[in-house]
Amino acid sequence: MKTLGIDLSSMPAQTAACLIDWVNGSAIAESPRLGANDAELDGLITQAQAIGIDAPLSWPLAFSEAANEWTHMEWNEELRDRLRFRLTDRVVHDQIGQSLLSVSSDRIALPAMRAMALLRRFHVTDRSGDGRFFEVYPGGTLSKWEISRKGYKQKNEEGQTLRTAIHFQVTSGYALACGLG
């Protein structure tokens, strides 16, 4: 069985994905794909039986009802900005060179919008998942497993050291749970 983990950002440059093949009680991870665009993600998704996406797959019901049904199957900067900013915001930006706060979204909303386009391409309409696509929360999982997550996202040597330690803790725990350690 193959699983796919996607750390979905609003744009490809900060998006990462990794396929994991589960064979005879072992997990064999392929090299992570960094800067994954939609075409790459679609190709990886076709190889996986389960897909975990680190991004919200829905909005509050009241917001969803107000915004109606999501119809966009593609995702790009122009659409992102059209959904985030009113015409007034864009004119003010052009006049003074400063970005205003988005009325419709904060940073976490942008990956959610990209996730909606991805799910739409694969005909997933149930935002709670369809048995193949799942919303995941790595930070919450680490907390539940009582593994410190403080600083693991830092883009420096300390962050890398923390991620390596987390990897060791998680894989050691998996091996013990499967009777491999």
**pLDDT tens-place string over residues 153-167:** 888 898 888 888 887
User: Is residue 125 scored above 80 in pLDDT?
Assistant: no
39: pLDDT strictly greater than 70:
yes
pTM here is: 0.72
Q: What is the pLDDT of residue 127?
A: 63
DSSP state of 163: H
Residues 62, 82: Cα–Cα separation, whole Å: 21
Number of alpha carbons in the 13 Å side-chain half-sphere of residue 173:
10
d(CA 148, CA 16): 22
Residue 24, pLDDT > 50, answer: yes
Percent of the chain whose predicted confidence (pLDDT) is above 70: 85
Of residues 8 and 24, more confidently modeled? 8
Cα gap 32→55, rounded to integer Å: 17
